[in-house]
Structure 1
């Protein structure tokens, strides 16, 4: 692991912020590293407010979108809410459809089948709309590249409103409105909304149009926070506000579907990390293993008993998903070893029987082992489909774009993308992708990096620091959990490997002998020899609270240790 110590802030700025906020150097440094330089910045950061959300009409085409929805409502038109099958898509569909149902009964939802229709707006979905007299489709978390599909719908007299957050191509679909903050001609102040976030801006605009305050929409924020966590968008700016209030809803008054999931896992207070690792995988499992409709049904349900039944079904899908991704990961690792494919700059694997619903998870697991831009392919109809995942700092979307002559279709983000290609193009694509990555990647990006906020002494780890750091939450890209480095540490003599296969490291450390902290280092069992016999070592870690039998204590979660 590379340890990268963030640069120290300018001394003048540090002193000024310490004075303005009456905080110590550690806290002031953490704030400056997050771009918080003044008292007002800190007030906005520590006291998020719904007032901080931008006017939705600043988004390009929002006025057109609102006009068309209001027209549909006034004329009693049938509206079809269409979305992708992942967490962001299904959350968006649940959000938009439940809001519209407060204003009309003529609303239905449509999630494409992952295996039959693939990603995004589908011909089958448009034909469904045509057969059932829908004159308006609102597409969420997809559609910005669906030029042909939107043209096909237009011929059938069906209008489109697109709420997307993916990068557009050079041309936009001929829709009534294309809401996407990543449009070059969109001056919306915040560019990093997820698909559900863009959908929320549309219902915010519709509510504003009716003269309703933003507070009337807080009940939808549990869905928005779930999508923000699942889609790994930066938790800064508007996303931070939406996630902050969404977590409050999740922890105090969640919709029945989310409550049913929380009851299953018996967790008291959820953080954004819990949303990512507990709620999101379960919602995702529906689209991965069966159909995204199950997720929409769960998230839209108002009857708690029914929601519990849906949650049980989804839990079963999640169990199947876990088993499938473990088995396929093992098979992929074996394939890589056998073919010596870990020697290049990329990992590209393929087997025609691998489950399409879990190849994205498998790609992430392979990165944990080999830390390379990774593609996992499987057979999908008469084509091959892949999920791409990248390493920190490398844009896999740009790499795919450079190989587009071999690809049928692709889309996504900097760190996660999907593509399809013809089977006969697989080997040529694989070579082109390897060539492109080897040519463009900084070689140091192939070693995992831990970014260290600052170096501190062990005595600076206090309950007061922990209380302040709680207020830094919710954490995520752009506002990660603070990581500290401390030198000259010693184990008190009881350090040992724990857990299955003794993979993890547990010890109690001290620096001067006066302070002692329990440490846990997941997957650091192989470093036990570094701490034996009272050797001094240095560590990078985050601070967390350990709750045990009614007692709370601070412990260090180790990321890495060195001599």
Structure 2
């Protein structure tokens, strides 16, 4: 791929060209709640339950989207003086979503509302019907051929749903239910106060940051300083006022909330978000930080083991371990995929000579499509273009590896590996606050609007410093034609020579310390010339 050397004007033109007028939607132009199929029916049933004093419970999911969805709906009811219960499945006991085992914990209620799950809960819905419990499903996932039995299903992916945006997350639908309930209950409450939490869910769930998603995230991040929420205050105290952006959500806040569900129980994430005092929030935040630290240690150990076992003759890496923590294998797959620049499936052995695994793609490779061709070898399988989960018997593993690697070659993916986040070449002298301010205008960055990467060619390494407990990170000083800049390289122990001339791929970031700021680069690649 030939890259042009960019001017600041050209950088702005490229970034501006990513958006249509609809992509730049503002909060005031959001679609109305009634555009969702069944939203009116769901709202009327909840209002009826509230007026009758029925026992109502919210059923969420153990990822960030599910945790936030439960939290904002619970907050809304709490803010209007109603005590509504909630339940989150345990990843290791209950499995995903509203399952039959989870039904046993909610069978005494009159009304069950699912958030960020439920569209695949066929068996649990039958149990609700048999127990004469009304079920309202709010979900954003793909609608299966056979849908659950429910009083109402609110899901933008239903064929006859008129909501104009298909890629929204569960917390957004939960927020729309809140908006609809506010109207029907005729309550004077500012529901925009819940958008800081919705912003966290949107970024964490990796839906495209365009149109409605962009509008909600942009407002939600700004609103973090506007509304009083103890958990948000605790996070701001941790990272500094004005320092929360989409990257901070993706790499700090989301992993914190996820760590509870990955290692212990997602209920601890909900309890943190529902903290009613700053002291309570700070205590719970420290507990999450401790869990996240353990998660990192486990993840680092498994990543090192997985990388040592990788067969680099394969185009799609399948790496299996006997006792790897299933709560982190998805993250490990992502890290190994980035390190080896190819799709990766990480497997951990479970009962019955079977493996449970997570797969992550790399660039344009549709890993779901490739694996789907070998579906008959799998016990369980699901996912989307860039990520998947599966269960496979030990006896099918070798054939599975052969088939998906052959299919990878047949689809000619090896010639398609292009990093589309790279927008062009730039000189080191152009890296500074002027370029950074141009980039900043097009935040938030994430899926659908990736943070732009640049290449600088022919730069000289002037200094190398190893960082981290085990020297797994590096801080390097580069020089190009008399202009120097610092760069950070994470999780890379390669040894570089002082004076070595290299090409670097990177993103720009602002480093603020003691009231002073400088622009530095986060390195994605260092290649010798």
Q: Secondary structure at the match of 2:464?
A: strand
**For 1:560 and 1:314, how far apart are their aligned partners in 2?**
32
Q: How far does residue 297 in structure 1 lie from its aligned partner after superposition?
A: 0.9
Match of 1:378 in 2: 348
**For 1:86 and 1:310, how far apart are their aligned partners in 2?**
18
Assess, with a 3 A threshold, how the Cα gap between structure 1 residues 154 and 335 changes in structure 2: closer, same or farther: same
**Greater alpha carbon shift after TM alignment, 223-232 vs 249-258:** 249-258
Match of 1:495 in 2: 462
C-alpha offsets along residues 146-174 of structure 1, whole Å, 9 cap, x if unaligned? 22221222222122222222222223222
Residue 61 of structure 2 corresponds to residue 90 of structure 1 = no
Q: Secondary structure at the match of 1:129?
A: coil
Match of 2:132 in 1: 157
TM-score after normalising by structure 2: 0.88
Q: How far does residue 495 in structure 1 lie from its aligned partner after superposition?
A: 1.2
C-alpha offsets along residues 483-512 of structure 1, whole Å, 9 cap, x if unaligned? 33455x554xx712222458636234344x
Q: How far does residue 376 in structure 1 lie from its aligned partner after superposition?
A: 2.1
C-alpha offsets along residues 388-412 of structure 1, whole Å, 9 cap, x if unaligned? 2221222333344433333333333
Match of 2:273 in 1: 299
Match of 1:137 in 2: 112
Mapping of residues 473-552 of structure 1, within 5 Å: 473-486=443-456, 490-491=459-460, 495-500=462-467, 501=471, 504=474, 506-511=476-481, 516-522=483-489, 528=496, 532=499, 539-552=504-517
**For 1:142 and 1:50, how far apart are their aligned partners in 2?**
26
Do the aligned partners of 1:243 and 1:474 also contact (CA within 8 Å) in 2?
A: yes
Do the aligned partners of 1:521 and 1:559 also contact (CA within 8 Å) in 2?
A: no
Assess, with a 3 A threshold, how the Cα gap between structure 1 residues 114 and 25 changes in structure 2: closer, same or farther: closer
**For 1:556 and 1:264, how far apart are their aligned partners in 2?**
23
Mapping of residues 102-113 of structure 1, within 5 Å: 102-103=79-80, 105-113=82-90
**For 1:351 and 1:461, how far apart are their aligned partners in 2?**
43
Alpha-carbon RMSD: 3.2
Match of 2:208 in 1: 234
Match of 2:174 in 1: 199
Match of 2:103 in 1: 126
Do the aligned partners of 2:421 and 2:451 also contact (CA within 8 Å) in 1?
A: no
Q: How far does residue 423 in structure 1 lie from its aligned partner after superposition?
A: 5.4
Q: Secondary structure at the match of 2:224?
A: helix
Residue 319 of structure 2 corresponds to residue 344 of structure 1 = no
TM-score after normalising by structure 1: 0.83
Residue 229 of structure 2 corresponds to residue 259 of structure 1 = no
Q: How far does residue 117 in structure 1 lie from its aligned partner after superposition?
A: 1.4
**For 2:472 and 2:291, how far apart are their aligned partners in 1?**
30
C-alpha offsets along residues 83-104 of structure 1, whole Å, 9 cap, x if unaligned? 1111111111111122133346
**For 2:226 and 2:2, how far apart are their aligned partners in 1?**
39
Do the aligned partners of 2:47 and 2:184 also contact (CA within 8 Å) in 1?
A: no
**For 2:247 and 2:477, how far apart are their aligned partners in 1?**
25
Q: Secondary structure at the match of 1:101?
A: helix
Give structure 2 stretches of 5+ with no counterpart: none
Mapping of residues 300-449 of structure 1, within 5 Å: 300-336=274-310, 341-380=311-350, 382=352, 384-421=355-392, 425-427=396-398, 429-440=400-411, 442-445=413-416, 447=417, 449=419
**For 1:158 and 1:246, how far apart are their aligned partners in 2?**
35
Assess, with a 3 A threshold, how the Cα gap between structure 1 residues 105 and 209 changes in structure 2: closer, same or farther: closer
Do the aligned partners of 2:49 and 2:56 also contact (CA within 8 Å) in 1?
A: yes
Q: How far does residue 273 in structure 1 lie from its aligned partner after superposition?
A: 0.7
Match of 1:16 in 2: none
Do the aligned partners of 2:140 and 2:156 also contact (CA within 8 Å) in 1?
A: yes
Assess, with a 3 A threshold, how the Cα gap between structure 1 residues 84 and 424 changes in structure 2: closer, same or farther: farther
**For 1:135 and 1:423, how far apart are their aligned partners in 2?**
44
**For 1:429 and 1:485, how far apart are their aligned partners in 2?**
37
Match of 1:71 in 2: 48
Q: Secondary structure at the match of 2:197?
A: helix
Q: How many residues align?
A: 522
Q: How far does residue 551 in structure 1 lie from its aligned partner after superposition?
A: 3.0
Q: How far does residue 305 in structure 1 lie from its aligned partner after superposition?
A: 2.0
The answer to which structure has the higher helix fraction is 1
Match of 1:29 in 2: 14
**For 1:310 and 1:548, how far apart are their aligned partners in 2?**
26
**For 2:5 and 2:144, how far apart are their aligned partners in 1?**
37
Q: How far does residue 528 in structure 1 lie from its aligned partner after superposition?
A: 4.7
Q: Structure 1 residue aligned with 2:253, among 279, 298, 312?
A: 279
C-alpha offsets along residues 505-525 of structure 1, whole Å, 9 cap, x if unaligned? 6234344x5xx3414151688
**For 1:490 and 1:327, how far apart are their aligned partners in 2?**
33
Q: Secondary structure at the match of 2:96?
A: coil
Assess, with a 3 A threshold, how the Cα gap between structure 1 residues 331 and 545 changes in structure 2: closer, same or farther: closer
Q: How far does residue 237 in structure 1 lie from its aligned partner after superposition?
A: 0.9
Q: Structure 2 residue aligned with 1:189, among 153, 158, 164?
A: 164
Do the aligned partners of 1:73 and 1:103 also contact (CA within 8 Å) in 2?
A: no
**For 1:419 and 1:525, how far apart are their aligned partners in 2?**
32
Do the aligned partners of 2:99 and 2:123 also contact (CA within 8 Å) in 1?
A: no
